[in-house]
A and B are shown apart, each in its own frame.
Chain A
Amino acid sequence: QQQVKQSPQSLIVQKGGISIINCAYENTAFDYFPWYQQFPGKGPALLIAIRPDVSEKKEGRFTISFNKSAKQFSLHIMDSQPGDSATYFCAAANAGGTSYGKLTFGQGTILTVHP
């Protein structure tokens, strides 16, 4: 019930391409879905987040698509750049029940963008 499953484990794209990472969750109490970006040796940093009352949120080159009925959400990175090479984590929280910060994370996707 608490799991968040993320795929793929690793992803290689060419500069300028679209990177797509998918996540699925089981707990219907989750009401907050952020994506975090982590560079080696650093802590994760919040990239973009969505609530279940909208199906899509876009910030610059980053877009979250959310499908409540399928309990799935995905991150799209348009015009991928070498600087986007990092590990990406999806996460979910029952913010209304506890806190935005008690997150259940996916296993992570290592993204490599070739120049």
Chain B
Amino acid sequence: GAGVSQSPSNKVTEKGKDVELRCDPISGHTALYWYRQSLGQGLEFLIYFQGNSAPDKSGLPSDRFSAERTGGSVSTLTIQRTQQEDSAVYLCASSMGQNNEKLFFGSGTQLSVL
């Protein structure tokens, strides 16, 4: 596709349920990033992939959060046993490599935990 694609665009779930958020980066982009944007807040780094490996997971807030990337392309962010404080917009970005400064962001997944 022409840009970074994220699905679903909106997700409403009940507290305690697991959710999966998907990111399709721009074709050929080897670096992929997940960020979280809470209401009225700046963006918070979660995890970074170079290819299929994640050299930096330092932003994941708890062990309920995990992410994987397969085939150097699609990435999935999984949140287990969701809590209300997990409600936020989850943004994915990709770039041509870790040394490439231009990040392209998707439009995000708005997650609401009731």
Query: Using a CB–CB distance below 8 Å, which chain A residues touch chain B?
Result: 4, 6, 32, 34, 41-46, 49, 89, 91, 95, 98-108
A44 lies within 8 A of B56 (CB): no
Name which of B62-70, B71-79, B80-88, B105-113 contacts chain A.
B105-113
Size category, B interface: 20 to 34
Q: Once bound together, how far apart are the Cα atoms of A28 and B20, in whole Å?
A: 37
Q: Once bound together, how far apart are the Cα atoms of A41 and B41, in whole Å?
A: 15
Which residues of the other chain, B, contact A46 by a CB distance below 8 angstroms? 101-103
Q: Once bound together, how far apart are the Cα atoms of A81 and B101, in whole Å?
A: 27
Q: Once bound together, how far apart are the Cα atoms of A108 and B108, in whole Å?
A: 17
A34, A89, A98, A101: the one within 8 Å of B42 (CB): A89
Scoring B31, B101, B105 by chain A CB atoms within 10 A of each residue's CB, the highest score goes to B101
Which residues of the other chain, B, contact A101 by a CB distance below 8 angstroms? 31, 33, 48, 93, 95, 98, 103
